[in-house]
Amino acid sequence: MSALLELKSVSKSFGPTLALNALDFDLLPGEVHALVGENGAGKSTALGLIYGVIAPDNGQVEIEGNRQSFRSTSDAQAAGVSCVFQELSLAGGLTVAENIFAGHPRQRFGVVNWKRLQADAAALLSEFELNLDVRKTVDSLPVSARQVVEIAKALSLEAKILLLDEPTSALAPDEVESLFGIVRKLKERGIGVIYVSHHLSEIFRISDRITVMRDGQKVATHRTSETTEKEVVSQMVGRLATARQERAPREIGAAVFQARDLSLTGIFDDVSFDVRAGEIVGLAGLLGSRSKLIARAVAGLLPAASGRMSLCGRAYAPRSLREGIAAGAAFVPEERKTEGLFLDETNLGNLAAANLGAFSRRGLFQRKVAARATERAIDQLEVKTSGPEQTTGALSGGNQQKILLAKWLETQPRLLVLNEPTKGVDIGAKRKIHEELERCAKDGMAILLASSDFPELLGICDRILVVRDGRIVGETDPQNFNEDDLLSVASGAQQLPALVHEGADS
């Protein structure tokens, strides 16, 4: 079978960084070819090159044997390439139908034919058994549905090649299944899919071949059926993966944070729980469970209408992130690009933004202090960057995530609230982040961790609160629980005994 796509010895530098180093890669029709590698290995750069966002310094891109030199994404789209980015790129205020046909609205006499556009969008979605109201605006949809819209948009362009950059990083387990269903249908149609992900278990389920990258180079290409996760991991990191250390016992102290009967109409209801010093408490929920909104409420971003909270023994009712921070809380948001980071700022600038006080002496900002702290954080979390002065927006997705975490860890909060802290980070970095959280807990920090990555929750939490429909429906002990148990409680298939609050003051 002749290749749909071939990269022939492509190279790309960004200043001193050699992001791609003579990379060879090919994609066959009807194939899912996974691209894996550590954060900063060059995966997104490779996709950017195929999608016309980045021009190679050297080497060639060929589609069906024809040499291409894309100058824009529309060139790439015209050649049959579509892409669903690491960070979604839809226009929130527009409807599903408008988004699907953005870039080529169904026009007649210069005006958009809305009826036709909606009908076409609906037809396209139903072909994939996707039920979505095409008249809804995209920002009213959950992330999983937005992703479907992104893919439908790609299909509307009659793509032959679909690039998926970490498509499941914002999806709950049940949503991953439906995405896989779509991908299988695409394969049947002969579409070639390049699938970038840090979730090796997913890759082993969905891909036909796997190419491992390290430092911009290809290490190996395997038939998925002929390799193992272990082999792939050791090729990614360039050494044999070591087993995770046994969890060190932690001393758990008194309650640092308490929530009692928090409610916000239509969002969450009657939420009560404690987080104690030295404790990592998980919030587990499937999409639409609103577990992450509870975390936002605790951080001050979504004030509850009723109920009470306390932090460090004092009444705590933050109406903004700033008030939360002032009371000793910190929040690591899920949307690093829009909420968490200043992408045009340097790493140092990003850390300083949350730590001005700590980096100042007698009211004067001490750049050296900030630089040292930033350097320490870069070392500790093994951020792949040229240093404190590099612009954060130039880092790879996973490395941006590490800077975001470092920024808030540096504030040394009493209560740390996190939403999906390891979204898009590679397995090595994920372990680093987990170790870092465990270290903070050991030092007495109270940690509330909302994550749709259930193995993550089971791996580091002392307790896991399961959230469904904005309510805490049960509490589980990670030692006696596995992923399937957690999934069945979160989905409502299985019940848990009601919560009991020790020392509750209500």
Which chain residues interact with Mg ion by CB under 5 A? 44, 396-397
40 binds ligand ATP (CB under 6 A): yes
Of 253, 250, 290, 246, give the one whose Cα is nearest residue 415: 253
Contact call for residue 397 and ligand ATP (CB under 6 A): yes
Between 333 and 397, CB nearer to ligand ATP: 397
DSSP codes joined into one string, 458-475? HHH-SEEEEEETTEEEEE
Give the shortest CB-400-to-ligand ATP separation in angstroms. Answer: 8
Tokens of 235: 């090729």
Could you say whether residue 396 binds ligand ATP (CB under 6 A)?
A: yes
Other C-beta atoms closer than 10 Å to the C-beta of 481 total 18
Torsion of CA 455, 460, 465, 467, to 10 degrees: -40
Site string for ligand ATP, 372-391 (x = CB under 6 A): ------------x-------
Among 7, 19, 27, 327, binds ligand ATP (CB under 6 A): 19
User: Is 272 or 400 the residue whose CB approaches ligand ATP more closely?
Assistant: 400
Residue linked to tokens 């530098």: 13
Smaller CB separation from Mg ion, 77 or 396: 396
Selection from Mg ion, ligand ATP, none that 37 binds (CB < 5 to 8 A by kind) is ligand ATP
Which of 3, 8, 11, 17 contacts ligand ATP by CB under 6 A?
Answer: 17
The pair of structure tokens assigned to 337 is 């690009």
Nearer to ligand ATP, 53 or 112 (CB): 53
Q: Which span sits near ligand ATP by CB under 6 A: 55-63, 268-276, 394-402, 490-498?
A: 394-402
Q: Select the residue interacting with ligand ATP from 9, 14, 305, 495 (CB under 6 A).
A: 14
The nearest distance, CB 151 to ligand ATP, in angstroms, is: 20
37 touches ligand ATP (CB under 6 A) = yes
Output the smallest distance, CB 29 to ligand ATP, in A: 25
The alpha helices in 27-172, defined as continuous H runs, are 43-50, 73-78, 96-100, 114-127, 143-156
* 394 sits near ligand ATP (criterion: CB under 6 A): yes
The torsion of the CA quartet 18, 24, 29, 35, rounded to 10 degrees, works out to -50
Q: Which of 307, 314, 286, 309 shows the shortest CA–CA distance to 417?
A: 309
Total interface residues for ligand ATP by CB under 6 A: 20
Q: How far is the CB of 393 from Mg ion (least distance, A)?
A: 13
Q: Quick one: tokens of 380?
A: 């500790």
The entry of Mg ion, ligand ATP, none near residue 14 (CB within 5 to 8 angstroms by kind) is ligand ATP
Picked from Mg ion, ligand ATP, none, the partner binding residue 39 (CB below 5 to 8 A depending on kind) is: ligand ATP
For Mg ion, the closer CB: 97 or 163: 163
Question: What's the CA angle centered on 328, arms 324 and 331, to 5 degrees?
Answer: 55
From residue 399 to residue 428, the character string flagging contacts with ligand ATP as x (rule: CB under 6 A) and all else as - is: x------------------------x-x--
Residue 122 CB, nearest distance to ligand ATP (Å)?
Answer: 34
Do 52 and 70 touch, CB atoms closer than 8 A? yes
Nearer to ligand ATP, 17 or 137 (CB): 17
95 binds, among Mg ion, ligand ATP, none (CB under 5 to 8 A by kind): none
> Nearest to residue 409, comparing CAs of 385, 367, 437, 379?
437
| Stretch of residues binding ligand ATP (CB under 6 A), selected from 40-48, 278-286, 354-362, 456-464 | 40-48
- Tokens at residue 361, please? 């002496």
CB of 380 to ligand ATP, least distance (A): 17
Q: Select 285 or 398, whichever has its Cβ closest to ligand ATP.
A: 398
Q: Which is nearer to ligand ATP, 50 or 286 (CB)?
A: 50
Q: What is the DSSP letter of 495?
A: -
With a CB cutoff of 8 Å and minimum separation 6, the contacts of 275 are 255, 256, 257, 281, 415, 446, 447, 448
471-476/314-315 β-pairing:
unpaired
Residue 218 touching ligand ATP (CB under 6 A) = no
Q: Report yes or no: 25 and 213 within 8 Å, Cβ to Cβ.
A: no
Distance between first and last Cα of the chain: 69
User: Which C-beta is closer to Mg ion: that of 88 or that of 252?
Assistant: 88
Instruction: State which residue, 89 or 320, has the beta carbon closest to ligand ATP.
Output: 89
Check: CB of residue 198 under 8 Å from CB of residue 426. Answer: yes
Please, which contacts does 491-497 make with residues 24 or more away whose CB atoms are closer than 8 Å? 491/174, 491/286, 492/468, 496/466
Task: Provide the 10 A C-beta neighbour count for residue 194.
Answer: 27
300 binds ligand ATP (CB under 6 A): no
Name the amino acid, one letter, at 424: G
- Residue number with CB closer to ligand ATP (35 or 122): 35
* Residue pointed to by tokens 């980070």: 425
The encoded tokens of residue 250 equal: 């932690």
With both helix axes pointing from N to C terminus, report the angle between 397-409 and 367-380 in degrees, rounded to the nearest 10.
120
Residues that bind ligand ATP (CB under 6 A): 14, 17, 19, 37, 39-45, 384, 394-399, 424, 426
